[in-house]
Every structure is written in C-alpha cells, then in structure tokens.
Amino acid sequence: MWTQTKRLLIAAGLSLLLLPIGLIINPDIGLGPLLGLWLGGTLAGLFGPTFRILLLGSGLCALLVAAVVFTPLTKWLTDWLVVQEAPQKADLIVVLGGGMHCGAGELEASSLARLQKGLELWRAGFAPRISLSDTVGEIFGDARCPSLGLEARARVQALYGAEGPEIVLLPKMRTTRTEALAVAEVVRARGWKRILLVTTPAHSRRSVGAFRKLGLDVVSVVSSEPRFDLALAAPADRLQALTPLAREYLG
C-alpha cells in the first residue's frame, strides 16, 4: 500500500512538470484539459506499467528542455522553417491569419506583425491590394471570438480611410490550407498571377508549401517575429520558440 501511495505522489509531481509541455503544444488549452492531463498522469501511478511510461516520458521531456536551453538545437530547427525571399511586383499581398485575444477582441502580436509587414509592402508599391482572413470564431477555441480579418480591416481603414489598399476578405478561414484554397480561387477568378505571402518566420515554410502545391506563383516575405528574438541567444527565447516550433513541425 505504501509503495502505491509513493507512486501516486511521484506521479502527481511529475504530471505537474508535464503541464508546461501541454501549454507549449497548445497555449490556448483550457483549465479543464490541463486538469485532466494532470489527473490522468497522477492515476498512472496506480499501475506499474503506466508509472514506468510516465517516468520515461518525464525523462524525455527533461532531456528535451535541456537540449533547448543549452544547445543550438532550437536555432537549427527554427532556421530550417524560415523561407525569406526578396519582394517583387505582384497582384496581391496575402496576409495570413495569426491569433486573437478573444476576451479583449484584439489582434495578437503575430497578427499585428503580419499586418504591419503587409502594409509596408503595399506602401512600397509592390501590390495594390491585400487579402485578410475572415476567421471563424471557433478557430481560437471561443465561438464569441471576433473575426481576425474584420478587426484587421477596421485597423487598416482607421489608418488610411479611402486612400488605403483594396482589401480582399477571405470568408470563414480555419487553417492555412483553407486560406491557400481561397486565395487560389480568387487569383484564378480575377486573372491575377503573382502573390506576396506574408506570415511570421517559423510559419513560412509550411505556408509556402501549401500555396505552391496549388500551383500559385508565390514569393515568401516574412514579417518580424514578435514572440521571441530570432537570434535565439538567450535560454528564455529558446523556450518561447518551442510553441511555434511544436505547432509547425506537428503541422
């Protein structure tokens, strides 16, 4: 009985250490799923085989964190994801959807960085129009979440009014693939050719691949990275980079 109790206590402690991994993979995860993850890990201590699996998983997580903090692994993985090309004259600037702060109804930092880069390209005369993704609320885990595209369009109109770029709103976008399909339909219907694809650096390889698979003439122009320093010299930046890295490689 004492052995099983000790296993339960150890499992409860190890499960607490695993919760940050869940937050890294999905920062928007709710309290309920996190509690379920901890409870499931704790109950693993009731049985010898599952307890050993938990110990193994915790050890691997510790090795991963050590590799991220103390080696260039994160920098190598991030650099491979970045596709940065020189901007060219195009018909359309595609600003991919990022994130939303649903409670406040505000654009998240990655969305603002992408929008800023798209507007820079428009002001420089690379294309006369910008596409924005009219996201479905559920994409951010909250059906009441405002549309990212509508919020971004309101910002552009507040800045430039009637003198601003032509805005193409892509309706009910959920993923990068749905954005690629919608852009392909618009481009072909209007007889456009080249597009400038704007997203954050770590998202660029996957997004370019999705658009080029549809036969689109794409130039990848990345925005700044607002969530961490791309030099990844500091351990804190390497840890912050884990979330987009996990999403991109899983994606």
Higher confidence at residue 72 or residue 139?
72
Name the CA dihedral angle for 156, 157, 161, 165, rounded to a multiple of 10 degrees.
50
| Over residues 190-212, mean pLDDT | 96
Contacts of 94 (CB under 8 A, 6+ apart): 130, 131, 179, 183, 195, 196, 197, 198, 211
> Integer distance in angstroms from the first to the last C-alpha of the chain?
44
User: Which structure tokens are listed for 63?
Assistant: 């090795």
pLDDT digits (tens, 9 = 90+) for 27-63: 666 677 777 777 777 777 667 777 777 777 777 777 8
Per-chain mean pLDDT for the chain: 85
Share of the chain above pLDDT 90, in %: 47
DSSP helix/strand/coil, 152? helix
DSSP helix/strand/coil, 135? strand
Higher confidence at residue 94 or residue 227?
94
Q: What is the pLDDT of residue 2?
A: 43
pTM value is 0.80
Distance CA 99, CA 214 (A): 25
Look at residue 1 and tell me whether its pLDDT is greater than 70: no
pLDDT digits (tens, 9 = 90+) for 83-115: 999 999 999 999 998 888 887 888 889 999 999
> Phi and psi at residue 98, in whole multiples of 5°?
-115, -115
Look at residue 73 and tell me whether its pLDDT is greater than 50: yes
- The DSSP call for residue 227 is S
Q: Which domains does the chain have, with CATH numbers?
A: 2-70 (no CATH), 83-247 (3.40.50.620)
State the helix-helix crossing angle for 235-250 and 48-70, rounded to 10 degrees: 120
